[in-house]
Amino acid sequence: MSFHKFYGNEVERRKWQNPGSILAAIGLNLDFTFVDVGCGEGFFSIPAAKIVGKKGRVFALDSDVEAIAMLGKKAFTKNLTNIEARVGTAEDTVLCNACADIVFFGIVLHDFSDPAQVLANARKMLKPEGRLVDLDWKKESMDFGPPLSIRFSEERAIGLIEGAGFKVERQEETGRFHYIIIARR
């Protein structure tokens, strides 16, 4: 199923999810290296690139060739040269070793065929002091978003994250539809 079927277009999505305020809340700063796993067309990657600045870096990964192409066009249009966008699966890709200040999953962890492997790869990408951030759908019935059957409850997400060797620092609601979990190695 397409992204737009679940979430609407980017303008509609911004009505219920503000990427800038989410990135600020997770502590993204100037000169950081940010890894956006399952980045789609760059809903979080583009604002992250602006926040980290010219000396910072954004690695963006998605298995959808068209989404990565669209992200590249958006980055070019906005003159953002600090985004490295790649096509690949999160289960098979480690974008860098111990380079990331933040590895971010923006409403995608439930989509991977092997989330435990994806989290193991995230651990490899994080600096020792880096943070893993999982933003995902609450496991509640809603008029949009992915089917309830594939959503992870907060408890399941925490179990997967801790099982991959992370310690959860905090978890909280972020808006009406989502929760966020922040963890460290």
Domains and CATH numbers, the chain: 3-184 (3.40.50.150)
Is the predicted pLDDT of residue 97 greater than 70, yes or no?
yes
Is the predicted pLDDT of residue 4 greater than 60, yes or no?
no
What tokens appear for 162 in the block?
């801790």
pLDDT level of residue 60 (50, 70, 90 thresholds): very high
pLDDT of residue 142: 87
Cα of 104 vs its chain's centroid, Å: 4
Q: What is the mean pLDDT of the chain?
A: 92
Q: Residue 168: what are its φ and ψ, rounded to 5°?
A: -70, 125
133-181 per-position pLDDT tens digit: 999 999 999 888 889 999 999 999 999 999 999 999 999 998 888 999 9
Is the predicted pLDDT of residue 3 greater than 80, yes or no?
no
107-131 per-position pLDDT tens digit: 999 999 999 999 999 999 999 999 9
User: Over the range 36-74, which residues count as b (16 or more CB within 10 Å of their CB) and which as e?
Assistant: bbbbbbbbbbbbbbebbeeebbbbbbbbbeebbebbbeb
Q: Residue 112: what are its φ and ψ, rounded to 5°?
A: -80, 145
Q: How far apart are CA 152 and CA 92, in angstroms?
A: 22
Mean pLDDT throughout 36-46? 96
Is the predicted pLDDT of residue 43 greater than 80, yes or no?
yes
- Judged by average pLDDT, the poorest of 97-101, 142-146, 180-184 is 142-146
pLDDT of residue 13: 61
Mean pLDDT throughout 76-90? 97
